[in-house]
Amino acid sequence: MSASELEQIRLGLLYKAKRNTILAAACMLGYGAFLLYKLRDGGGMADLLPLIGLFALVLIMVILFDQTPIKATMIQAAGFFIICLFLDDLQNRPTISKYILLAIITLILAASSLFVLFRGFKQDYSVKFQCAFKEHYLMPYFKAFGYRYDIGGSIDPAKLKLSGLFFRLDKFKGGNDRVSGVYDGVKFAFCDVSLFNRFSESEILGTFFYAEFNKRISAKTLIFPARAGAPNTGGLKKIDMDDAEFNAAFAVYSADAAGAMYILTPAFMRRLLRFAGAVAAPVSLSFADSKIYIFVNTGRDNFEPDIDESVLRRDPAAQLKRELSHFLAIVKNLKLNERIWS
């Protein structure tokens, strides 16, 4: 499926969500007009009709506009106008103003209900858009490289523990969107994972990658963002590398300083710095036995596109493609580095 076809699906689903909400708004406004007709009192309640008309216009325009700043400006302008009308009427006809106040409160409650309703509609259609994106856009992309993409696939929680990249209080909640394959003779897999830190009571979301080589890495080495705490160094010593920029960005722990320096060649450190800059998220790595583990703490579900964002303006798979490219480049770099293998 092309990006243009995916964009047509997105626009079609978004249109259905907006259409359903506008229909609900029309029904609500029609019912309100009927009540006004039944409760009219010599023309006094007719003053509410302009407010209801304004409310209907603003509501429909706010739903139709995608840009949040425009929505906020329109809501603020409409609110200011209604308040001015109320204050003016309060001075001229205090008896009628109580009805206007009641109408304003009613309209605010109605607007809140409709926005909640719209979010519900949009959430339902977002799920459909995400399914179309994964099945018809991502799956063919990975398949073209010979990789397997399992939408519901997760990862063995034992691998997260073996990586040494997480705190003991981090409880694995689940994973999905597993991609696996073989690159240059090296088996790899990565997927979205979700953990819960029981100490801070916060959720951890990101991409977990691992690759298995045919030979053992001579020195167990852990690499964490410099500003983050080291979860589980297991008695490993902190190693300072001969690169001030790298030391400012990452903290390295290893049992063998020489072995760690064999792994972290100047070219590898440059690549890792570019990787962290490209994904704009904390990156952690570990080397143990014959495996490398990488965790990118993105703080979000990386395979879920935003239905409000145009596919033509920004490829929703761009971040995934970027991460995969860097993952595999690291694998290739390590495979070519004969000095790190025992």
Residue range 281-320, pLDDT digits in tens: 888 998 888 888 999 888 887 777 777 777 777 777 777 7
pLDDT at 196 over 80: yes
**Contacts of the segment 65-70: beta carbons below 8 A, 24+ positions apart:** 66/308
Distance CA 233, CA 221 (A): 9
Residue 92, Ramachandran bin (φ over 0: left; ψ between -120 and 50: alpha; else beta) = alpha
Question: Token digits for 85?
Answer: 């009308």
Higher confidence at residue 94 or residue 61?
A: 61
Categorize the per-residue pLDDT at 169 as very low, low, confident or very high, splitting at 50, 70 and 90: low
Distance CA 336, CA 334 (A): 5
Torsional sign, CA 244, 245, 248, 251: negative
For residue 91, the 8-state DSSP code is H
pTM to 2 decimals? 0.69
What pLDDT is stored for residue 202 in this prediction? Answer: 79
Rounded mean pLDDT, 52-65 = 60
pLDDT at 188 over 70: yes
Angle in degrees, CA 32, 34, 36, rounded to 5? 70
What pLDDT is stored for residue 208 in this prediction? Answer: 92
Tell me which range, 13-27, 204-218, 299-313, is most confidently predicted by mean pLDDT.
204-218
Note whether 262 and 337 are within 8 A (CB). Answer: yes
Residue 236 DSSP SS3: coil
Query: Which residues contact residue 245 at a Cβ distance below 8 angstroms, ignoring those fewer than 6 apart?
Result: 273
Higher confidence at residue 21 or residue 207?
A: 207
Can you list the alpha helix ranges (DSSP code H) found in the chain?
Answer: 3-39, 48-64, 68-92, 94-133, 139-144, 157-163, 244-249, 257-263, 266-279, 318-336
Angle in degrees, CA 183, 188, 193, rounded to 5? 145
Render pLDDT for 80-95 as a digit per residue (tens, 0 to 9). 666 665 556 555 655 5
Please give the single-letter amino acid code of residue 200: S
For residue 206, the cross-strand partners are 193
Note whether 291 and 210 are within 8 A (CB). Answer: yes
Note whether 251 and 230 are within 8 A (CB). Answer: yes
Render pLDDT for 92-116 as a digit per residue (tens, 0 to 9). 655 555 555 566 666 666 666 666 6
pLDDT above 70 as % of the chain: 67
